[in-house]
Amino acid sequence: MNSFRAVITGTGVSLPKRILTNRELESMVDTDDEWIKTRTGIEERRLVEPDENVSDMAAEAGVLALKEAGIEVSDLHLIVLATSSPDMIMPSAACMTQAKLGATCPAFDVMAACSGFVFGLSVGAQYIESGSFKNVLVIGSDALTRHLDWEDRRTCVLFGDGAGAVVLTRSNGEHGVLASYLASDGRGADLLKIPAGGSASPGSEKTLARRDHCIKMNGHEVFKFAVRAIPDAVEKALTGAGLEPKDIDYLIPHQANRRIIDAAAERLDIDLTKVVVNIERYGNTSTASIPIALDELNREGRLREGDVLVFVGFGAGLTWGANVVRWGKGVAG
Ligand code: ACO
């Protein structure tokens, strides 16, 4: 039996230049800066440019992650792109990203809404642990602002655009992805959705009039679910790694609402100094929020060899999950 591990050897991000502040939103919809800040923690978010798409952001983040990993595009064996807002329904945004990167390896999308990066990382790690592939690029890229109803103040203040990527490389050491826990409950599918544009309800004048091409959300129920889902996923993933909450050096949760993060951290009895939060600058970037936060920690030089990181996501589906990672470049496998 082999004992390969998938280590994170590079991180990268792409953040659109256009910043939309809460103050600007005040002139667009019936909301106010104070409400958004106190109820969500968000102060501003990024918006894609008209000619910028999910695959553009994904490729840009990917290039940076490859650079840090010291890996050529030709050395990539797989691209896994987590997204809920692909450039088109078909083909996959992963294939578009592959072309933009100039890669030739297989590429596919993973759709698990805001849990997508956690699911995608687990998929990428499995290919490495099985010995199938050596270098895998895992990306979370979303432009959910393209699916917002800018007259619905309950949703349009929450989301932002961006991408984050990691390179996973085969290693024989103690570092890398130690365990993942993934969960889904399709009975909650109605709580958060974009009803039109799929095969059940293709785009039409009717769907446009009903704004069914936009995100519809039951905020209360999603909030309650998230506060339960985070501790559940973190505890189960840690158990899989033979660790406990006290062993965590950094908890990197999906950035959907500051209050959700605080409540979940309290349930887990984790000191808030160990919980990474950057929601004030980017809002909810869906699949990108965890790799963006990871990249910030990495670039700021805050990560130490051996640190235990836990990534935890939750979102539409419903889906939720966590990865436990021991930071460090490991030993080439
Ligand atoms: N500005 C001002 N007032 C607002 C706004 C706004 N943007 N939005 C709602 N309000 C009002 C409501 O109309 C309501 O007024 P009323 O009492 O007169 O009816 C009042 O504020 C309170 O509204 P609530 O919905 O009770 O506010 P709550 O504290 O629950 O916060 C929120 C709403 C922020 C949406 C919260 O429920 C939440 O964060 N839920 C989870 C959402 C989430 O995480 N989604 C992403 C999941 S990940 C993925 O897969 C995409």
243-294 pLDDT per residue, tens: 999 999 999 999 999 999 999 999 999 999 999 999 999 999 999 999 999 9
The one catalytic residue in 114, 135, 175, 257 is 114
Annotation says 284 is catalytic: yes
Q: What is the pLDDT of residue 3?
A: 87
Do β-strands 176-184 and 319-326 pair in parallel, antiparallel, or remain unpaired? antiparallel
Classify domain 1-333 by CATH architecture.
3-Layer(aba) Sandwich (3.40)
Is the pTM higher than 0.85? The answer reads yes
E-strand spans in the chain?
Answer: 5-14, 18-21, 44-47, 78-82, 107-110, 135-142, 162-171, 176-184, 192-193, 216-217, 250-253, 308-315, 319-326
Average pLDDT, the chain: 97
Whole-number Å distance between alpha carbons of 32 and 127? 46
Q: Where does ligand 1 bind, in terms of residues with CB under 6 Å?
A: 31, 35-36, 39-40, 113-114, 153-154, 157, 192, 217, 219-220, 222-223, 226, 256-257, 284, 286, 315-316
Tell me how far the alpha carbon of residue 245 lies from the centroid of ligand 1, in angstroms. 30
Give the mean model confidence (pLDDT) for residues 76-94: 98
The one catalytic residue in 254, 257, 298, 323 is 254
Tell me how far the alpha carbon of residue 234 lies from the centroid of ligand 1, in angstroms. 25
Q: Is the pLDDT of residue 14 over 90?
A: yes
Q: What is the pLDDT of residue 2?
A: 62
Contact between residue 14 and residue 143 where contact means Cβ atoms under 8 Å apart:
no
Q: What is the pLDDT of residue 36?
A: 98
Annotation says 214 is catalytic: no
Q: What is the pLDDT of residue 53?
A: 98
Q: Ligand 1 atom 49: the closest Cα is on which residue? A: 315
Give the mean model confidence (pLDDT) for residues 16-42: 97
Q: Is the pLDDT of residue 1 over 80?
A: no
130-143 pLDDT per residue, tens: 999 999 999 999 99
Annotation says 114 is catalytic: yes
